């Protein structure tokens, strides 16, 4: 690329100058990007707060903010905020919540909330010698980072364990210190990383003070939290008599439908192609709630997918049990969520979402979010094993096509009636409007 095309100091430009620079770079005019102004908030203070969340902000990107009602989780009734662009997800969650509301709702239980961080380092010395020193190293690392954990300890959190791992048989001279944390209601990413970096410096100093020659040098490779949190785990299930499935079993007898549903989930436990799509259906619900509450949905997903591969084979995060006339559908999934700090307080809608949920603790939010994931996958498997997935999508697909093609309200009403019993495609909608 020619030097003249290089954009220097873009982050330091004003919002208007950023747009002007982009227009110049693309050979367009500023007016070509006027739509960016339509999505800015009229409240300049609120807009400024949003722009502080990220860098090089030009505008806001809008996604639908929805409510899925009638979620009964552990006997408590919730309205669940969801932020997602995919058609039918909120409808699917709502339908499942409605169905299970009169059948005991969702039962959720947090199994654990442990988070993990790592100090990765290389050292030329003998591993057995390092093991002898580790009890003393451990005490120093805890003492030196104590001041950073004051607020976490006030919420009954803190460091719950430290271990030394020797990976020299896989990577020459490589060791790791793995630290476990309880972060209470915070997701805790920033404080965990601060503690780990402090520990890294203390570790480096310990080697310098207690060893000689090459062994006095410890190379810190990196100090960072891990998004693999298999011990921050929540389990959620729904259960009813098999006869209670009659409402959703379509043309099948409830007992036959229960077996068909189980087979569909069993397939996701043996076939990675099906498992990936099945688990994506779970994250339709989980991601939507994580986004609405200002949590890191990417970290939640990464952890869930690694957990789904824990046995060396990627498989479903849900299971079905049929026993003594009972149908039980269970989701067991790791996730690290927070209700204090970060976007949960900075973003007004994230704060509102938590208020709508009754200002839950992190553990309660995990239970609610897992219920949303289970609700969405229940609706997805239900549709797949009865009418097919497309029937539920078609109403939204029709609306999207009509809006894209600029249909009037009268044309929308006519199209809805016309396509009630017909296949929907963009071309078919275009032809209908052309008539």
Distance set, CA 48 to CA 17, 36, 56, 113 (Å): 16, 15, 12, 34
The two three-digit tokens of residue 262, written as one number: 């189980």
Q: What is the pLDDT confidence band of residue 434, given thresholds at 50, 70 and 90?
A: confident
Cross-strand bridge partners of residue 176: 120, 165
Predicted confidence (pLDDT) per residue in 163-195, tens digit: 999 999 999 999 999 999 998 887 788 899 999
Burial of 299-311, coded b for 16+ CB within 10 Å and e otherwise, reads bbbebbbbbbeee
Residue 89 clears pLDDT 90, i.e. is over it: yes
Q: Give the count of alpha carbons within 13 A of 1, CB side only.
A: 6
> What radius of gyration do the chain's Cα atoms show?
26
Residue 136 lies in a domain: yes
For the chain, the straight-line distance linking the first and the last C-alpha, in angstroms and rounded, comes to 50
Determine, yes or no, domain membership for 23. yes
Give the tokens for residue 35.
């739509």
Element (H, E) at 16: helix 15-26
Tell me the DSSP string of 90-101: HHHHHHHHHHHH
In the annotation, is 40 catalytic?
A: no
Give the whole-angstrom CA distance, residue 218 versus residue 300. Answer: 33
DSSP class of residue 122 equals E
Give yes or no: residues 122 and 206 share one domain. Answer: yes
User: Catalytic residue at 397?
Assistant: no
Considering the candidates 280, 305, 351, 412, report the single residue annotated as catalytic: 280
Looking at the fold, whether 243 and 104 belong to one and the same domain comes out as yes
Q: Where are the alpha helices (DSSP H) in 271-408?
A: 272-292, 297-308, 343-346, 348-356, 362-384, 389-404
Q: Which two tokens stand for residue 55?
A: 């860098």
Give CA–CA dist 211/199, Å, rounded. Answer: 18
47 and 190 both lie in a single domain: no
Maximum Cα–Cα distance across the chain:
87
Adjacent-strand bridge partners of 236: 108, 331
Within a domain: residue 330? Answer: yes
Q: For residues 152 and 187, state if they share a domain.
A: yes
**Are residue 371 and residue 252 in the same domain, yes or no?**
yes
| pLDDT for 388 beyond 80 | no
- How many independent structural domains does the chain possess? 4
Q: Give the range among 55-64, 150-159, 239-248, 301-310 with minimum mean pLDDT.
A: 150-159
From the list 232, 285, 238, the residue with the least C-alpha distance to 107 is 238
Query: Cβ neighbours of residue 99 under 8 Å, at least 6 residues apart?
Result: 247, 248, 378
The helix/strand count (H/E) of the chain reads as: 16, 9
DSSP 224-287: EEES--TTEEEEEEEEEEGGGGGGT-TTS-HHHHHHHHHHHHHHHHH-HHHHHHHHHHHHHHHH
Single pTM value for the model: 0.86
pLDDT at 1: 39
pLDDT over 80 at 3, yes or no: no
175, 75: one domain: no
Could you give the CA distance from residue 198 to residue 209 in angstroms, rounded to a whole number? 17
Residue 346 counted as domain residue: yes
Residue 21 lies in a domain: yes
Q: Using one digit for the tens of pLDDT, what is the confidence trace for 193-250?
A: 999 999 999 999 999 999 999 999 999 999 999 999 999 999 999 999 999 999 999 9
Is the pLDDT assigned to residue 51 strictly greater than 60?
A: yes
Share of the chain above pLDDT 90, in %: 78
- Among the listed residues 296, 301, 364, 367, the single catalytic one is 296
Which residue do the tokens 């052309």 mark? Answer: 434
Q: Does 86 share its domain with 116?
A: no
Specify the DSSP element, H or E, that contains 128.
Answer: helix 127-145
Same domain, 263 and 362: yes
In the set 138, 262, 393, 397, the catalytic residue is 393
Among 356, 371, 389, the domain-final residue is 389
Of 30-44, 273-287, 297-311, 377-391, where does mean pLDDT reach its minimum? 377-391
DSSP type of residue 82: E
Residue entry with tokens 């780990």: 196
- Do 102 and 182 lie in one domain? The reply is no
DSSP string, 400-416: HHHHHTT--HHHHHHHH
| Catalytic residue from among 16, 32, 52, 86 | 86
Domain with 183 in it: what CATH number?
3.30.70.420
CATH number at residue 99: 3.90.770.10
Return the closest-CA partner of residue 291 out of 280, 300, 282.
Answer: 300
Evaluate whether residue 428 is within a structural domain.
Answer: yes
Say whether both 126 and 82 belong to one domain. Answer: no
Eight-class DSSP state of 171: S
**Residue 235 designated active-site:** no
Active site residue 420: no
Q: Is 112 helix (H, G, I), strand (E, B) or coil?
A: strand
Which structure tokens are listed for 353? 């979402």
56 located within any domain: no
Say if residue 222 is in the same domain as residue 236.
no
Q: State whether 125 and 23 are in the same domain.
A: no
Is residue 216 in a domain? yes
CA 312, 313, 317, 323: dihedral to nearest 10 degrees?
-100
Alpha-carbon distance values, 2 to 11, 64, 304, 348 (Å): 21, 41, 43, 43
Query: Is residue 428 within 8 Å of 422, Cβ to Cβ?
Result: yes
Coil, helix or strand at residue 324: coil
Q: How confident is the model at residue 369 (pLDDT cuts 50, 70, 90)?
A: very high
Burial of 330 (0-12, 13-18, 19+ CB in 10 A): middle
**Do 81 and 356 contact (CB within 8 A), yes or no?**
yes
Please give the residue range of the domain that contains residue 10: 3-51
What is the tens place of the pLDDT at every residue in 328-340? 999 999 999 999 8
Residue 415 binned pLDDT confidence (cut-offs 50, 70, 90): confident
Average pLDDT of the residues of the chain: 92
């Amino acid at each position: 690329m020619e030097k003249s095309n290089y954009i220097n100091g873009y982050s330091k430009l004003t919002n208007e100058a950023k747009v002007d620079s982009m227009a110049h770079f693309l050979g367009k005019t500023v007016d070509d990007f006027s739509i960016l102004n339509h999505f800015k908030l009229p409240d300049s203070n609120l807009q400024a707060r949003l722009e502080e969340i990220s860098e090089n902000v030009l505008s806001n990107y809008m996604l639908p903010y929805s409510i899925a009602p009638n979620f009964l989780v552990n006997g408590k009734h919730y309205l669940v905020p969801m932020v997602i662009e995919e058609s039918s997800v909120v409808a699917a969650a709502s339908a499942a919540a409605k169905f299970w509301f009169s059948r005991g709702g969702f039962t959720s239980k947090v199994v654990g909330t442990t988070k993990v961080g790592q100090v990765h380092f290389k050292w030329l010395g003998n591993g057995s010698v390092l093991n002898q020193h580790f009890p003393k190293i451990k005490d120093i690392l805890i003492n030196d980072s104590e001041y950073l954990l004051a607020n976490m300890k006030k919420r009954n959190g803190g460091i719950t364990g430290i271990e030394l791992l020797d990976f020299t048989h896989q990577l020459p001279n490589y060791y790791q210190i793995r630290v476990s944390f309880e972060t209470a209601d915070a997701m805790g990413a920033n404080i965990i990383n601060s503690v780990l970096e402090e520990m890294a410096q203390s570790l480096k100093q310990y080697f310098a003070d207690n060893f000689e020659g090459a062994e006095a040098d410890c190379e810190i490779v990196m100090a960072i939290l891990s998004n693999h949190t298999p011990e921050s785990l929540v389990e959620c299930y729904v259960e009813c008599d098999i006869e209670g499935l009659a409402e959703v079993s379509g043309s099948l007898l409830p007992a036959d439908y229960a077996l068909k549903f189980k087979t569909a989930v069993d397939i996701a436990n043996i076939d990675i192609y099906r498992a990936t799509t099945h688990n994506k259906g779970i994250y339709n619900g989980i991601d939507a709630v994580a986004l609405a509450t200002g949590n890191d949905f990417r970290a939640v997903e990464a952890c869930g997918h690694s957990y789904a591969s824990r046995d060396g084979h990627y498989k479903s995060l849900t299971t079905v049990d049929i026993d003594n006339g009972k149908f039980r559908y269970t989701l067991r999934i790791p996730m690290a969520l927070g209700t204090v700090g970060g976007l949960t307080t900075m973003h007004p809608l994230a704060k509102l979402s938590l208020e709508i949920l009754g200002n839950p603790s992190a553990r309660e939010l995990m239970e609610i979010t897992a219920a949303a994931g289970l609700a969405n996958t229940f609706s997805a498997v239900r549709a797949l094993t009865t009418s097919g997935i497309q029937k539920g999508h078609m109403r939204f697909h029709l609306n999207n096509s009509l809006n894209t093609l600029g249909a009037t309200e009268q044309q929308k009403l006519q199209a809805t009636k016309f396509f009630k019993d017909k296949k929907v495609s963009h071309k078919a909608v275009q032809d209908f409007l052309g008539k």
